[in-house]
Amino acid sequence: MASNTYYKVVAENRQARFDYQLLEVYKAGLILQGNEVKSLRLGNVTMRDSFARADKGEIWLYNLHLSPYSQADQNKIDPLRKRQLLLNKKELVKLSSKAAEKGLTLVPLKVYFDGNWAKIDIALAKPKKKYEKRDTIRRREAQREIASAVKGKVKHGSGRH
């Protein structure tokens, strides 16, 4: 069965992968109002300080800044309002109970369109300690050095023949 849906990433929270150890990732629907969909399609979204929280059996997304659509009435919708996430019942119960555990949090990773539907990937995550972040930086720099050394050898080696 061929699918006609497309997958377009609108925004990504790259800092989350550095600041948190991601345990499980969930795909959730995003409830939007009015012209927020048009604004999201244009990429007018900032995920920098956003987070999710379980409240009364529902998952809510906070601090996702969705700028107002420029050609719409500017006064209608608060760009930082909390937005409800859509998950199936089993996932809601699982996430609510795990997010209540000490030291675990819900972090949004990316906002995208799956066909015509606005979706968001949220992860159950554990914050990294300072020394874990330093290890991540050290590993990344070592990988860069290895890659540049290999690249340099390939350039020098191919010119000699």
Q: Which pLDDT score, from 0 to 100, does residue 27 have?
A: 92
- For residues 23 and 60, membership in a common domain is answered with yes
Span 3-59, pLDDT tens digits = 556 778 888 888 888 888 888 889 989 888 877 888 888 888 888 888 888 888 888
Q: pTM (2 decimals)?
A: 0.71
- Mark whether 37 and 104 lie in a shared domain: yes
Does residue 69 share a domain with residue 41?
Answer: yes
In a domain, 1, yes or no: no
CB-based contact 104:124 (threshold 8 Å): yes
Element (H, E) at 160: none
- Rounded-to-integer distance, Cα 158 and Cα 153, Å: 8
Higher-confidence residue of 158 and 8: namely 8
| pLDDT tier at 156, thresholds 50, 70, 90 | low
The alpha carbon of residue 97 and the mean position of all alpha carbons in its chain are separated, in whole angstroms, by 21
Question: Is 64 inside any structural domain?
Answer: yes
* Domain ranges, residue 143: 129-161
Q: Let me know if residue 2 belongs to a domain.
A: no
Count of structural domains within the chain = 2
pLDDT digits (tens, 9 = 90+) for 90-142: 888 888 887 777 778 889 998 998 888 888 999 888 887 877 778 888 888 88
Tell me what pLDDT residue 3 has: 53
Number of H helices, E strands in the chain: 4, 9
Instruction: Give the whole-angstrom CA distance, residue 27 versus residue 12.
Output: 14
One domain, residues 81 and 16? yes
Domain contains 110: yes
Determine which helix (DSSP H) or strand (DSSP E) holds 61, and give its type and residue range.
strand 58-62
Is the pLDDT at 1 greater than 50, yes or no?
no
Q: Please indicate, yes or no, whether residues 85 and 147 belong to a single structural domain of this protein.
A: no
Same domain assignment for residues 66 and 138: no
